Amino acid sequence: MEELKPFITNEYCLRCQGCCRFAEEKSCWAPHLLTEETKTIAPFSKVIALQTNPGQGNFICQFLNPGDNKCNVYPHRPFECKLYPFLINRQGKKVYLSVDLKCPYIKKNVHIEEYKRYVQYLTAFFNNPAHLNILRANPQIVQTYDNVLYISEIKL
């Protein structure tokens, strides 16, 4: 899949302790892999494995180094990680581009013009026939998330 332009800077993400951490070991929020990513990132798996976060009582992505908050596969991280805090969300039979409102950067910037331009960029990105075909071929990355803001419907 074509490379996504980032919305949130890496520097901001490194200061945050929100992403890559999960309340449950079997969380829909854990990154799901595109079929092509299963060959390079986590062979034989369609979802990133979570491991216990020592002393924290929760789970973390297997690639997160909790000491420095860095991703060990950052240059090659999964598509869903590149997309986050934006999500591909199933609600009934419909699929939406959504955003996670628990992301502190989104909370702070959801009303700025840069956010609106990025939403337009993502909407166009997911209306591209080649990208729609990739989503159709990878239903595992379409999950049902709660407490998100629906942005636009994706016609799969």
Please tell me the predicted confidence (pLDDT) of residue 122.
96
Domain contains 2:
no
Please tell me the predicted confidence (pLDDT) of residue 103.
94
Please tell me the predicted confidence (pLDDT) of residue 151.
95
Domain contains 43:
yes
Which of 37, 52, 78 finishes a domain? 78
Q: For each of the chain's 156 residues, which pLDDT tens digit applies?
A: 778 999 998 889 888 888 899 999 999 999 999 999 999 898 888 899 999 987 777 999 999 998 898 999 998 999 999 999 999 999 999 999 999 999 999 999 999 999 999 999 999 999 999 999 999 999 999 999 999 999 999 998
Q: Which two tokens stand for residue 25?
A: 């070991």
Please tell me the predicted confidence (pLDDT) of residue 57.
75
Please tell me the predicted confidence (pLDDT) of residue 67.
86
Give the residue from 136, 144, 115 showing the smallest Cα distance to 8. Answer: 115
Which of 48, 78, 108 finishes a domain? 78
Please tell me the predicted confidence (pLDDT) of residue 93.
94
Query: What is residue 64's three-state secondary structure?
Result: strand
Please tell me the predicted confidence (pLDDT) of residue 119.
97
Please tell me the predicted confidence (pLDDT) of residue 3.
87
Whether residue 140 is found in the same domain as residue 155: yes
The residue to which tokens 């890559």 are assigned: 20
What domain range includes position 154? 85-156
| Cα–Cα separations (whole angstroms), residue 76 to 3, 4, 41, 81 | 11, 12, 8, 10
Whether residue 12 is found in the same domain as residue 50: yes
Domain contains 118:
yes
Which of 23, 52, 78 finishes a domain? 78
Describe the strand order of the beta sheet including 50-53 as a list of residue ranges: 21-22, 58-61, 50-53
**H or E segment to which residue 79 belongs:** helix 79-83
Please tell me the predicted confidence (pLDDT) of residue 86.
97
